[in-house]
Structure 1
Amino acid sequence: MTRRLLASYLGLVLLVLLGLEVPFGLLFARAETSRLSNSIERDAGMLAELAEERIEENSTDELPELATDYAERTGARVVVVDRTGAVLTDSTATTPVGTDLSAQPDIATALRNQTTVGTAPDPDNGTQTRYVTVPGSSGETIRGALRLSYPTDVLGGRVHDIWLTLALTGLGVLAAATLIALALARWIIRPVHALERATTQLADGTLTNPPATNLGPPELRRLAASFTHTATRLQHLLTSQRAFAAEASHQLKTPLTALRIRLENFEPHLDPAVHDSLDEAIGETERLGRVIQGLLSLARLEATATTPEPTDLDAVVADRAATWAPFAAEHHVHITTGGRPAGHVRAIPGALEQIIDNLLANALRVSPSGTTITLATCRVPQGVELHVIDQGPGMSETERRRAFDRFWRASDTHHDGTGLGLPIVEQLTRASGGHITLEAAPGGGLDAIVLLSAANAPAPHPQAPADHPARPHQGQGPRPTAPPKPIGAPEHARR
């Protein structure tokens, strides 16, 4: 941003300099040309009068001294001819005395008592010159002519000098403007960079270095003060939310557990006819516990900023498939893996395990006996896709759109889901930089598609068969004998 500000300032200064110096340079060149022409014409007229006097008085031997003296002082060339066009003197001694120049146009015109002004190559050396040829006459009597010429490089040198002066002046102004613009840009950008660093810190979870409120323009100072105030309040709210998520779990689970134990203790003392109602009450207590656990999990996800890390998707898929296989076998459902090795993907720590567990629990609830749940991975241009495909009743398009709403369950569902499983999966996927969609599976059922970004350095890992033990994912610890109970994955079953 500093470079852009500096470029804008210097561009404006350069535009102003060009707008002032170019017209001034052109005006000076035109004025210098006009001044030189007027000077030549004036001097030529005076020299012609002096030469005419010398010719009239038959003192032509004084003409060489007159011409040479003027030429030495001005750098011009003076040629004087008599009324027949014969050379009387040439200040450069290039043209011999007596040479007939009457055939040259400017001399012929002057001998007809007319003045000629123009620019043309010197007839002797070819140098471009600015010349004036005037008659030496008294009234109608013409006694000779005089040609006064200046090399145009004299004029070009003067014009070049002024352009060089203007260029050096412009560079000096541009250098000064650069220093001023650089100081101004840094003065403006310094608080912006401080705000950027503070925003990055706040995004990571904690603002340790708030931006200074005494740097930069007043507007940026007010912005820094407002940001610091907002960040302080936000951190306070996040701290309060984390504290609630940490404390509420224990404070809510303890009375629910006690309530369930007391309900179970009632069983021996109740009439067998009300045992079904007691079982329903205990089931509702368990469901309430799962709802509370799901809400706390969502609160932790929303309050915690975690950076995605490379995770071996193939290892996680193989591990979760092997973990869930015995539990699925009790329901006469087979879990299989497929697709091609996906390698490493970017995900927050522990997210892939929770995503797969919730999707498998969701699929297992609706899978009829004798069906298969497939875990498949594949690489796509956008990254890596994880598919969890069941052979259950599936969902309508309307139900798939609403499946990620919190607490939403299909109107014809008949089991005790909490409606928080898929929202948790979506939250974990988003926190990992991906997204999840639900599609109808070919042949019936549901295909949950999780798209994640591939890690910078993929490391393909062979998939382990679902019915064979798989090596636990690093940091996961020993695999349990039964799958952990997911947090109330929402159902998509139909009656």
Structure 2
Amino acid sequence: MTRRLLLSHLSLMLLVLLALEVPFGVFYDRTEVSRFSHTAQQGAMTLAEVCEEKMEHGLAADLPELARTYGHRTGSRVLIANQKGVVLTDTTDLALVGKDLSSESDISTALRDHPVVDTRRAPSAGGDVLFVTVPGGSDTTAPCVVRTVYVLGPLKAEVHATWLALAGVGLGVLAVVALIGFALARSVTRPVRALERATAQLAEGRLTDPPATDDGPPELRRLAASFTRTATRLQHVLQAQQAFASDVSHQLKTPLTSLRLRLENFEPHLAPCAQDSLDKALGELERLSRMVQGLLALARLENSAIRPEAVDLDAVVTDRAAIWTAFADEQHVDIIVSGATSVRVWAVPGALEQIIDNLLSNALRMSPPGTAITLATVTGPTGDGRTPPVAELHVIDQGPGMTETERHRAFDRFWRAADADHDGTGLGLPMVRQLTRASGGEVTLEAAPGGGLDAAVRLRRAENRTHRDRLGTSAVADSAGCWKTPPSSTRTAPSR
């Protein structure tokens, strides 16, 4: 923002300088050339009158000395010709003396009593030259013609020096404006940078350095005050939610455990016809316990913030598949691991294990005996420098699958399919999505080829450190290991 403000000031000042200096430079250039031409013409006419007077008094022999004196004084080349165009003297080329130049355009025009002022290109002179040819006398028949030739190099050098001076003045003005603009831009953007730092701190979970409310323009001061009030209220809300999650986790476990023990104590005293009701009550109590644990886990996910870390996807998949194989064997279901190896992804500590556990639990619940669950790792494109490369983990079952409407609603909290088991909580897939987003990725449900469901988890590959920096601080998760649940409990808790 500082650069943009500074560039805007400099651009505006540059336009002003160009609007002032360029017309002035052009006007100065034209004025100097016009003044020089007029002076040269007046001098040539005066010299021509003197030459005419010398010739009338029979003093033509004085013309060479007169021409040399004038040429030395004005720095020009002087040529004098008689009324027939024959050269009488030339201060530069004596070989021209006696030659007839009446055929040359400026000489012939001057002999007809018309002065000529013209600029020509003369490579021998190293640039442009000014020709001033005037008749000597006021009669219609000129007794002599005077030609003066000036090299315009010194005049052009003077004009160029003026342009350089103008450019130097412009650069000096721009430098001063840059210093002043930089100071002003810094003073304007200082509160904005303070707000940016405060926003980053708030994204981390705690505002330790609130922006000053007495610095910068009035609008930014009011914005800083509003931001501080909002951040303070938000921190109070987050602290209240964290305290609630902590208190509930302790307060609900004891009464639920006590209630379970009391119900189990009733079993010896119940009639056989009431046994089924007791089993259902215990089942609902177990489901309530899992639901409370799931809600508390989601609350901790939403209220905490840590950065993702590089995780070996292949190692985690292999480890979880080995653990779940025993439970899959009980239902005569195979677990197949395939795809790329040695793939590292960014994930919140402990999140990848929980994601795979929940997806395998759902897949195992819906897989008929004799089928297989596939864990496939696929690496995406390497990215274009702005989009980091990704890796995909597919958990594919051969169950009945889900309709498109059910797949869209599967990540809603407490939602379960109409034919789902009644002991599910409807929190497994929402937790998977929360963990995936906390790791900077995304999860989707698609219909698997040949039937079944394909749960695809897309995470950013950890190929270099720059990808981690691009993730920012948006990941939210609990401390490492606090989401892990034993496969035995995770296997029955989540539900589509």
- Of stretches 302-311 and 84-93 in structure 1, the one that deviates more from structure 2 is 84-93
The runs of 5 or more residues in structure 1 that have no matched partner are 459-474
Relative to the length of structure 2, the TM-score reads 0.86
Q: Which one-letter code corresponds to 1:115 in the other structure?
A: P
Q: Distance in 2 between matches of 1:51 and 1:235?
A: 102
Query: Which residue is 1:383 aligned to?
Result: 390
Query: Which residue is 1:471 aligned to?
Result: none
Q: Are 1:248 and 2:248 matched, yes or no?
A: yes
Deviation at 1:59, TM superposition (A): 3.3
Relative to the length of structure 1, the TM-score reads 0.86
Matches for 1:223-242 after TM superposition, within 5 Å: 223-242=223-242
Query: Which residue is 2:297 aligned to?
Result: 297
Query: Which residue is 1:454 aligned to?
Result: 461
Q: Go from structure 1 to structure 2 and tell me whether the alpha carbon gap of 1:26 and 1:361 turns closer, same or farther (over 3 Å shift).
A: same
Q: Which one-letter code corresponds to 1:3 in the other structure?
A: R
Indicate which of 391, 404, 412 corresponds to 1:405. 412
Q: Go from structure 1 to structure 2 and tell me whether the alpha carbon gap of 1:489 and 1:268 turns closer, same or farther (over 3 Å shift).
A: closer
Q: Which one-letter code corresponds to 2:394 in the other structure?
A: H
Structure 1 vs Structure 2 CA RMSD: 3.0
Deviation at 1:197, TM superposition (A): 2.3
Deviation at 1:342, TM superposition (A): 4.6
- Of stretches 235-244 and 151-160 in structure 1, the one that deviates more from structure 2 is 151-160
- Of stretches 294-303 and 74-83 in structure 1, the one that deviates more from structure 2 is 74-83
Q: Deviations over 1:292-333 (max 9, x none)?
A: 111111111111112111112222222222222333333443
Q: Deviations over 1:192-224 (max 9, x none)?
A: 333222222222222222233344333333333
Q: Distance in 2 between matches of 1:97 and 1:332?
A: 124
Query: Which residue is 1:191 aligned to?
Result: 191
Q: Which one-letter code corresponds to 2:410 in the other structure?
A: A
* Aligned-pair identity (%): 61
Q: Which one-letter code corresponds to 2:39 in the other structure?
A: S
Kept after mapping to 1: 8 A contact 2:80/2:144: yes
Q: Which one-letter code corresponds to 1:448 in the other structure?
A: A
- Of stretches 165-174 and 214-223 in structure 1, the one that deviates more from structure 2 is 214-223
Give the secondary structure class of the aligned counterpart of 1:450: strand
Q: Distance in 1 between matches of 2:73 and 2:253?
A: 112
Query: Which residue is 1:486 aligned to?
Result: 490
Q: Deviations over 1:152-173 (max 9, x none)?
A: 2243233223222222222222
The runs of 5 or more residues in structure 2 that have no matched partner are 382-388, 466-479
- Of stretches 133-142 and 283-292 in structure 1, the one that deviates more from structure 2 is 133-142
- Of stretches 264-273 and 120-129 in structure 1, the one that deviates more from structure 2 is 120-129
Q: Distance in 2 between matches of 1:138 and 1:383?
A: 95
Q: Go from structure 1 to structure 2 and tell me whether the alpha carbon gap of 1:118 and 1:446 turns closer, same or farther (over 3 Å shift).
A: closer
Q: Which one-letter code corresponds to 1:289 in the other structure?
A: S
Q: Which one-letter code corresponds to 1:404 in the other structure?
A: F
Matches for 1:96-495 after TM superposition, within 5 Å: 100-120=100-120, 128-140=128-140, 142-381=142-381, 383-456=390-463, 483-486=487-490, 489-492=493-496
Q: Deviations over 1:52-91 (max 9, x none)?
A: 2222222335444543443333223333333344444445
- Of stretches 273-282 and 329-338 in structure 1, the one that deviates more from structure 2 is 329-338
Kept after mapping to 2: 8 A contact 1:40/1:131: no
Q: Which one-letter code corresponds to 1:384 in the other structure?
A: A
Give the secondary structure class of the aligned counterpart of 1:437: strand
Deviation at 1:370, TM superposition (A): 3.7
Kept after mapping to 1: 8 A contact 2:429/2:495: no
Q: Distance in 2 between matches of 1:195 and 1:283?
A: 52
Kept after mapping to 1: 8 A contact 2:125/2:151: no
- Of stretches 206-215 and 287-296 in structure 1, the one that deviates more from structure 2 is 206-215
Q: Distance in 1 between matches of 2:149 and 2:464?
A: 81
- Of stretches 428-437 and 14-23 in structure 1, the one that deviates more from structure 2 is 14-23
Query: Which residue is 2:471 aligned to?
Result: none
Deviation at 1:444, TM superposition (A): 2.9
Query: Which residue is 2:384 aligned to?
Result: none
Kept after mapping to 2: 8 A contact 1:341/1:378: no
Give the secondary structure class of the aligned counterpart of 1:430: helix
Q: Distance in 1 between matches of 2:124 and 2:209?
A: 83
Query: Which residue is 2:81 aligned to?
Result: 81
Q: Go from structure 1 to structure 2 and tell me whether the alpha carbon gap of 1:106 and 1:394 turns closer, same or farther (over 3 Å shift).
A: closer
